[in-house]
């Protein structure tokens, strides 16, 4: 089972000359990092956490620029170091992402070898390790040695969905920077102003994004993202009318692509939350704004209790999957518990 490359190759935002100025939202993280650089109190290691496509890589890259920028108020985005880092071609930037399904000890060893060299250019060698959640125990333990005895002129930036999935001994050696979802309004405004997305589409995507600007930009630029979403919602509605055999077949299909599975379960959760809101007569803003008729139909069919149970089952399944549950089994239980539409 392999994870498609897109999770790690999602660098849409970095087409631009990423500097702190281009980081949308995450103000406190940016000001904390700029201040620590200004005051020369740079940590040996940082841990950036948050949902997929929330901006972790963008912040990491801007930090690498700030550490190596030669302008008086870094990062300038214009100097040689800033430009090379934005283009991913700076010799002192070491970007490591999982190979296939895991981040492996050989990758950490290669990195350690590179980090032991003194910087050829720039002030710091910056190691960015993406997908630390997927590090094997051997890779984690090997990396721990670097964190315990960091080479001078090296800054390590770890990227993970959540700190809880890493070794506590790794987390305790990092400055933790948890990135939170952006507001709907921040995502909407950024789509319109920086990516020239049409107002109507920006409104829909901002609500669908769950505060993940990277996802919204990707969806605006790549029509297949919204097409996949539409398919997953159609699948959900179809599944409520189907029996065990078809549901198990769907679970099997879904378990074949872990990244798509996570996206689908997240989406379904927003769906049942919307159904719950409508069924309970709440005035809160819906996520799936563009599908109100189908949401109302579900609200009438299933009512607030079934919608709440469905959302809570999804949350539980996602928690189990994040904590190494058997994927097929967890999905099959989820499928059995999906609300059943009475014909
Ligand atoms: Zn610069």
Band of residue 6 on the pLDDT scale cut at 50, 70, 90: very low
Q: What is the pLDDT of residue 110?
A: 96
Structure token pair of residue 294: 């189908």
pLDDT band at 18 (very low <50, low <70, confident <90, very high): low
Confidence of residue 15 (pLDDT cuts 50, 70, 90): very low
Angle at CA of residue 185, ends 182 and 190, nearest 5°:
80
CA of 125 to the centre of ligand 1 (A): 15
User: Ligand 1 centroid vs 325 CA: distance in angstroms?
Assistant: 45
As given in the structure block, the two tokens for residue 183 are 């507001």
- Helix or strand or coil: residue 46? strand
Give distance in angstroms: CA of 74 to centre of ligand 1: 6
How far apart are the CA of 78 and the centre of ligand 1, in A?
A: 5
Q: How far is the CA of 69 from the centre of ligand 1 (A)?
A: 4
Measured in Å, residue 37 CA sits from the centre of ligand 1 at: 13
Mean pLDDT of 93-105: 92
Give the distance (Å) from ligand 1 centre to CA of residue 62: 10
For residue 123, the CA-to-ligand 1 centroid distance in Å is 12
Q: Report how far ligand 1's centroid is from the alpha carbon of 295 (Å).
A: 49
Dihedral over Cα of 76, 81, 84, 85: its sign? negative
Helices marked H in the chain: 6-9, 27-38, 56-68, 80-86, 105-115, 137-148, 168-171, 184-195, 199-208, 213-221, 223-239, 244-254, 258-279, 292-322, 327-337
Distance 87 CA to ligand 1 centre (A): 13
Say how many Å lie between the CA of residue 60 and the centre of ligand 1: 15
Question: Could you tell me the distance, in angstroms and rounded to a whole number, from the CA of residue 111 to the centre of ligand 1?
Answer: 25
What's the gap in Å between 88 CA and the centre of ligand 1?
14
Q: Give me ligand 1 centre to Cα 70, in Å.
A: 5
343 pLDDT tier (thresholds 50, 70, 90): low
Q: String of b and e for 229-240 (b: at least 16 CB within 10 Å)?
A: beebbebbeebb
CA of 85 to the centre of ligand 1 (A): 9
Q: Which of 6-15, 43-52, 158-167, 314-323 has the lowest mean pLDDT?
A: 6-15
Cβ distance 74 to 66 under 8 Å? yes
pLDDT, position 322: 79
Cα separation values, 160 from 6, 97, 341, Å: 16, 11, 38
Per DSSP, 101 falls in state T
107 Cα–ligand 1 center, Å: 29
How far, in Å, CA of 237 to CA of 294, rounded? 9
Q: How confident is the model at residue 128 (pLDDT cuts 50, 70, 90)?
A: very high
Q: How far is the CA of 268 from the centre of ligand 1 (A)?
A: 43
Q: Tell me, in angstroms, the distance from the centre of ligand 1 to residue 8's CA.
A: 25
Looking at residue 173, what DSSP letter applies? T
CA of 19 from ligand 1 middle (Å) equals 8
> What letter does residue 134 receive in the DSSP assignment?
G
Alpha carbon of 305 to those of 200, 276, 309, 318, 332: distances in Å?
A: 33, 8, 6, 20, 21
Distance 30 CA to ligand 1 centre (A): 16
| Distance from residue 66's CA to the centre of ligand 1 (Å) | 7
Average pLDDT for residues 112-130, to the nearest whole number? 86
Residue 161 has pLDDT above 80, yes or no: yes
79 alpha carbon – ligand 1 mean position (Å): 4
Asked whether the predicted pLDDT for residue 21 surpasses 80, the reply is no
């Amino acid at each position: 089972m392999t994870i498609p490359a897109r999770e790690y190759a999602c660098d849409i935002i970095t087409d631009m000359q990423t500097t702190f100025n281009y980081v949308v939202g995450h103000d406190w993280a940016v000001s904390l990092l700029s201040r620590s650089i200004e005051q020369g109190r740079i940590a040996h290691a940082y841990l950036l956490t948050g949902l997929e496509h929330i901006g972790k890589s963008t912040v990491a890259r801007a930090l690498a620029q700030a550490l190596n920028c030669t302008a008086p108020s870094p990062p300038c985005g214009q100097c040689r170091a800033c430009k090379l880092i934005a283009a991913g071609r700076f010799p002192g930037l070491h970007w490591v992402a999982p190979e296939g399904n895991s981040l492996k000890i050989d990758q950490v060893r290669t990195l350690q070898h590179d980090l032991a060299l003194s910087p050829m250019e720039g002030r710091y060698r910056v190691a960015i390790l993406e997908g630390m959640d997927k590090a094997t125990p051997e890779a984690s333990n090997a990396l721990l040695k670097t964190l315990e005895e960091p080479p001078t002129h090296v800054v390590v930036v770890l990227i993970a969905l959540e700190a809880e999935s890493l070794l506590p001994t790794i987390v305790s050696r990092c400055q933790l920077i948890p990135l939170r979802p952006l507001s709907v309004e921040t995502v909407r405004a950024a789509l319109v102003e920086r990516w020239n997305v049409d107002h109507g589409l920006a409104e829909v995507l901002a609500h669908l994004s769950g505060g993940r600007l990277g996802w919204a930009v990707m969806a605006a630029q790549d029509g297949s993202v919204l097409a996949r979403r539409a398919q997953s919602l159609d699948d959900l509605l179809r599944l409520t009318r189907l029996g065990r055999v078809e549901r198990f077949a769907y679970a099997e299909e879904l378990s074949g692509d872990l990244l798509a599975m996570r996206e689908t379960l997240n989406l379904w959760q927003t769906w049942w939350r919307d159904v719950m809101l409508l069924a309970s007569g709440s005035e809160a803003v819906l996520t799936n704004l563009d599908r109100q008729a189908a949401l109302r139909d579900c609200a009438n069919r299933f009512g607030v209790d079934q919608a709440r149970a469905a959302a809570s089952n999804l949350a539980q399944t996602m928690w189990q999957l994040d904590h190494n549950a058997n994927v097929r089994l967890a999905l099959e239980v989820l499928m059995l518990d999906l609300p059943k539409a009475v014909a």
